């Protein structure tokens, strides 16, 4: 089984290191810059439970050096997918499965989803349908990523908490390709439950990301501070309820109540969301996958999103002013 992790930053690096340390010899990564140089020179280093280990991984700057894979894990951010399509292409053979590990609404969302919107392509996350055409939704294994991981230095990954990567076919089937991948991940010490409704789990994570990420970027506040403040907590709740109406109209089941989801975010503590961290570091922000896509789903289902629309306009303006959105 040949597995490639395309985009070996924090999450991709953690997954690659765990698989390699478990003896997965046919594992490779595509990385770049100082991160790639450090991995080539000294291996992929992982700090976990206070101990540092070195994972021997095959690292390349260009995918054509690695050839066709059985599994390609896309661990880069959603807005980086379209520009990377030419680089991903050499990894794909007729039977290659592609595991999507992006936050937010996935580009393949309406593949195999029965109803009038089946096959709809979302322009907010897949402009012009380029990803759909070049990768193909029939390859997809969806994933919801929970570990908190940081890149402390080039080639050095630090695991903070969490080991769960939920997996699921868009069709809900539990076929051999997703089962085999889950087994490999479990052997590596990870949790990899296979879901028959991966979309609902995507929505539960998206529920918080949609609201807390842009509010944190706009205010500079941590999760705990947003939840503790009456005004920002109420705004987040309103956005989440707008999203819930959209999700439920698409058949999504929300297994927890909105106030419990909000409390869970607050319990994380003084944590800066990824969108706020990107803003502070001058990096592109995941606005479209987390916010614009929900607005697009609202239009497709004829559900209004006034609070989401207002916050979206503000955070896009902020990001444009800081060169973090285009």
Q: Which residue in 2, 13, 19, 7 sits closest to 95, CA to CA?
A: 2
pTM of model > 0.85: yes
Residue 114: per-residue pLDDT: 86
- Give me 306's structure tokens: 């006034």
Positive or negative, the Cα torsion across 91, 96, 101, 106?
positive
Site of tokens 């080991």: 163
Walk along the chain (326 residues) and give the pLDDT tens digit of each residue.
Answer: 999 999 988 999 999 999 999 987 799 999 989 999 999 999 999 999 999 999 999 999 999 999 999 999 999 999 999 999 999 999 999 999 999 999 999 999 999 898 899 999 999 999 999 999 999 999 999 999 999 888 999 999 999 889 999 999 999 999 999 999 999 999 999 999 999 999 999 999 999 999 999 999 999 999 999 999 999 999 999 999 999 999 999 999 999 999 999 999 998 888 889 899 999 999 999 999 999 999 999 999 999 999 999 999 999 999 999 999 98
Active-site residue flag, 205: yes
Site of tokens 């029965």: 114
DSSP string over 70-116: SEEEE-S-GGGTGGGHHHHGGG--TT-EEEE--SSS-TTTTTT--ST
Q: What is the pLDDT of residues 274-299, one digit of tens each?
A: 899 999 999 999 999 999 999 999 99
Catalytic-role residue among 205, 263, 272, 316: 205
Cβ atoms 300, 246 nearer than 8 A: no
Cβ atoms 61, 52 nearer than 8 A: no
Helix (H) or strand (E) holding 308: helix 306-321
How many CB atoms lie under 10 A from the CB of residue 50?
A: 5
């Amino acid at each position: 089984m040949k597995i490639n992790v395309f985009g070996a930053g924090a999450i991709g690096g953690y997954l690659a290191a765990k698989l390699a340390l478990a003896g997965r010899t046919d594992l490779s990564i595509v990385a770049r810059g100082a991160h790639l140089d450090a991995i080539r020179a000294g291996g992929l280093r992982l700090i976990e439970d206070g101990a540092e280990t070195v994972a021997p991984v095959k690292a390349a700057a260009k995918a054509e050096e690695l050839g066709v894979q059985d599994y390609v894990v896309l661990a880069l951010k959603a807005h980086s997918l379209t520009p990377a399509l030419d680089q991903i292409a050499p990894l794909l053979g007729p039977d290659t499965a592609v595991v999507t590990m992006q936050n937010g609404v996935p580009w393949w969302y309406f593949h195999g989803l029965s109803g009038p919107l089946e096959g709809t392509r979302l322009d907010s996350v897949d402009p012009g349908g380029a990803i759909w055409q070049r990768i193909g939704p029939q390859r997809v294994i969806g994933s919801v990523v929970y570990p908190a991981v940081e890149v402390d230095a080039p080639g050095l990954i630090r695991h903070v908490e969490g080991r769960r990567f939920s997996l699921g076919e868009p069709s809900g089937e539990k076929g051999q390709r997703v089962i085999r991948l889950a087994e490999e991940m479990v052997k590596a010490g990870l949790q990899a439950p296979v879901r028959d409704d991966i979309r609902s789990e995507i929505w539960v994570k998206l529920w918080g990301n949609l609201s807390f990420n842009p509010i944190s970027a706009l205010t500079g506040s941590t999760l705990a501070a947003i939840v503790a403040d009456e005004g920002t907590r109420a705004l987040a709740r309103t956005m989440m309820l707008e999203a819930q109406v959209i999700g439920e109209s698409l058949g999504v089941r929300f297994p927890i109540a909105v106030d419990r989801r909000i409390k869970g975010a607050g319990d994380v503590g003084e944590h800066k969301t990824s969108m706020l961290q990107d803003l502070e570091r001058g990096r592109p922000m995941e606005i479209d996958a987390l916010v614009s896509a929900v607005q697009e789903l609202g239009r497709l289902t004829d559900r209004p999103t006034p609070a989401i629309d207002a916050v979206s306009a503000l955070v896009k303006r902020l990001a444009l002013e800081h060169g973090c959105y285009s």
